[in-house]
Structure formats: structure tokens, C-alpha cells
């Protein structure tokens, strides 16, 4: 998989891809991530990428020309399955969508900033608009990192145990069941006896029931 991320603040994306699972995925050539500085396509002489909005109002807007030039330059190199814009008014990111994105070959992600981007970019270039929640951040870099993390961890070979991702919360519209590790008795707090039984089917049945009960209490909307 190849992911291109367009941003006005590349340093904000250095840490997420420089550690842990995402770093290993890149090192193993399971995914390539290219962070593009939008200012490289800015309007001369000051590499300008934002301007005042027509009609007035507070805040600046990311200009159409630098974004269009950047997207077109990238599209000359490869064909993209999706061109994604990270925006608070996009479709809320869900696990099922991440499963779909993980099957794609080439993805482009545009990080918004300021008061957003010129609407014509959304109309003529963007294929998907994604939000990570009903709140506003300073820019789309953190949401882009969240999206990429959720996608990359699903790629074959990224996790040491590939079945691990299949048991994550939301994969089957259920939250994950409680988990325990050693010691089995800590200060008198004991783990459920079923987990010491060695009976795989009974343990699986118990975990499913726990996941169902936890979902009913915490996220009943998932069961609708």
C-alpha cells in the first residue's frame, strides 16, 4: 500500500510514523508513506497557501491553486483508489470503513487547516470526506495519523499475530471482552475461573457473552 499525505505542517506527522507498529510496517515495506509539504506548491513569491474568504468572515481558507497543483502532480505518478479529505463535517470513521481502506493500493489524504479548503477542491478532487469525531482540531494532521494507524495495522504482516486485529472492538459490532494476565490472584482479586479451564470453546463462548454484555451497557447503539 502507498499513502500520500498533503499537509502544511509535515513535522506534525513525523512522530506517528517514527515509532512502534507504523514504523515497523514501513521498515518491512508493507506500506510506504509519503508526506508532502503543500507549501512546495504555494503561490510565489512567499509560497502562499491561504487567503481570505470571499464574502468576508473570520479566519483564512486554504487556496485552490496550491492544492490542485499538488494533487495533479501526484496523480501524474500514480492512480489513486481514494482521495480523502480529513474534515470535522465528514463521515465519522468506523472500523468497517478502515477494513475497506486497508484493501486499497493507493490512497491520498489531504489535511485541512485554518477554516478549511476552497469548496471547489471538495467538489472536483475529493472522493471521501472523513471525520474522527464531533469536535474541531487545529488541523487534519492528527486525524490523518489516526486514519493511517487504523488502516495500516490491518495490513497482512503488520501485526505479529494477524488474528489479533480480527478480535478488536467494533470488528463484529461488539466491544472487546475484558482481558487478564498474570498473576491470576492479585491482592485477592481473582480472574474468572473459566480462563484457567483450558477449554477453548467454553472460553470463546464466555468472551463472546462478555463482549455482548459490555456492548449492551456501554454502546447499545452498536446492537441496533
The string of pLDDT tens digits covering residues 52-94 is 999 998 899 999 999 999 999 999 999 999 999 999 999 999 9
CATH of domain 169-223: 1.10.1270.20
Q: Is 76 helix (H, G, I), strand (E, B) or coil?
A: coil
Q: Where are the alpha helices (DSSP H) in the chain?
A: 20-27, 64-75, 95-101, 119-124, 141-152, 200-218
Helix 20-27 to helix 141-152 angle, to the nearest 10 degrees? 60
The rounded distance, in Å, linking the Cα atoms of 211 and 109 is 33
Q: Could you give the angle at the alpha carbon of 173 between the alpha carbons of 167 and 179, nearest 5°?
A: 40
pTM for the model: 0.89
Domain 2-152 coded CATH 3.40.1280.10 = yes
- Give the tens place of pLDDT for each residue, 165-194: 666 667 788 999 999 999 999 999 999 999
Domain segments of the chain: what residues?
2-152, 169-223
Amino acid at each position: 500500500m502507498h499513502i500520500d499525505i498533503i499537509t502544511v505542517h509535515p513535522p506534525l506527522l513525523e512522530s506517528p510514523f517514527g515509532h512502534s507498529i507504523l514504523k515497523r510496517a514501513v521498515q518491512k515495506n508493507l506500506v510506504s508513506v509519503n508526506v508532502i509539504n503543500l507549501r512546495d506548491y504555494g503561490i510565489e513569491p512567499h509560497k502562499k497557501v491561504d487567503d481570505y474568504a470571499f464574502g468576508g468572515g473570520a479566519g483564512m481558507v486554504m487556496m485552490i491553486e496550491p492544492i490542485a497543483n499538488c494533487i495533479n502532480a501526484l496523480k501524474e505518478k500514480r492512480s489513486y483508489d481514494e482521495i480523502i479529505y480529513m474534515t470535522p463535517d465528514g463521515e465519522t470513521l468506523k472500523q468497517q470503513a478502515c477494513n475497506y481502506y486497508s484493501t486499497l493500493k493507493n490512497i491520498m489524504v489531504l489535511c485541512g487547516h485554518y477554516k478549511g479548503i476552497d469548496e471547489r477542491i471538495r467538489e472536483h478532487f475529493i472522493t471521501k470526506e472523513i471525520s474522527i469525531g464531533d469536535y474541531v482540531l487545529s488541523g487534519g494532521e492528527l486525524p490523518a495519523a489516526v486514519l493511517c494507524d487504523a488502516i495500516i495495522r490491518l495490513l497482512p504482516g503488520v501485526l505479529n499475530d494477524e488474528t489479533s486485529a480480527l478480535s478488536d472492538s467494533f470488528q463484529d459490532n461488539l466491544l472487546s471482552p475484558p482481558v487478564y494476565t498474570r498473576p491470576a490472584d492479585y491482592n485477592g482479586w481473582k480472574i474468572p475461573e473459566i480462563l484457567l479451564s483450558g477449554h477453548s470453546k467454553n472460553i470463546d463462548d464466555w468472551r463472546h457473552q462478555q463482549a455482548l454484555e459490555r456492548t449492551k451497557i456501554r454502546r447499545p447503539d452498536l446492537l441496533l
